[in-house]
């Protein structure tokens, strides 16, 4: 998790779903957030009446967590159906989804989302070096 990591690079996060304070929290730790939720028409199927739906950027701002200028600099928003997310591949360091999978309708749809999300993440490459010590002289 990048928060409080002390790393000097800027993180890019894809945050899927709703008005939870996570977009503001991540931005307060200098993470650049692309937040998304269903378009308003689709939201009527579930959580719009309960205040959980984010229809625009303002629904994500939590002033008790960070100032408005930093929020505006670090958070962007787009309405999107998470089953066909148009986000570019390998653009994000991590994807955070809160209470989203159960709204997709089936276990298969949830697994499809998880697998599709993996493609949105930047590749992490590791190089290993094995040294084999020879006993021969």
- What are the structural domain ranges in the chain? 11-118
- Rounded to two decimals, the pTM is 0.66
Q: 13 by DSSP, 3-state: which?
A: strand
d(CA 50, CA 64): 21
CB atoms within 10 A of CB 45: 9
Task: Render pLDDT for 54-86 as a digit per residue (tens, 0 to 9).
Answer: 666 787 889 999 999 999 999 988 776 666 666
Q: What are phi and psi of 12, to 5 degrees?
A: -115, 125
Q: Per-residue pLDDT for 4 more than 80? A: no
Taking the alpha carbons of 74, 29, 18, 51 in that order, is the dihedral positive or negative? negative
User: Does 3.30.70.270 match the CATH number of domain 11-118?
Assistant: no
Q: Per-residue pLDDT for 30 more than 50? A: yes
pLDDT at 78: 77
Chain mean position to CA 4: 17
pLDDT at 131: 43
Question: Which of 97, 31, 21, 35 is CA-nearest to residue 70?
Answer: 31
């Amino acid at each position: 998790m990048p928060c409080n990591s002390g790393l000097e690079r800027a993180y890019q996060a894809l945050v899927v779903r709703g008005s939870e304070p996570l977009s503001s929290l991540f931005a307060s730790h200098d993470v650049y957030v692309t937040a998304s939720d269903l378009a308003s028409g689709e939201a009527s199927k579930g959580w719009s009446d309960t205040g959980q739906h984010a229809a625009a950027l303002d629904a994500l701002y939590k002033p008790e967590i960070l100032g408005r200028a930093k929020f505006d600099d670090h958070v962007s928003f787009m309405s999107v159906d998470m089953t066909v997310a148009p986000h570019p591949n390998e653009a994000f360091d991590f994807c955070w989804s809160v209470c989203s999978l159960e709204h997709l309708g089936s276990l298969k749809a949830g697994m499809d989302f998880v697998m599709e999300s993996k493609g949105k993440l930047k590749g992490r490459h590791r190089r290993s070096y094995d040294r084999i010590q020879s006993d021969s002289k």
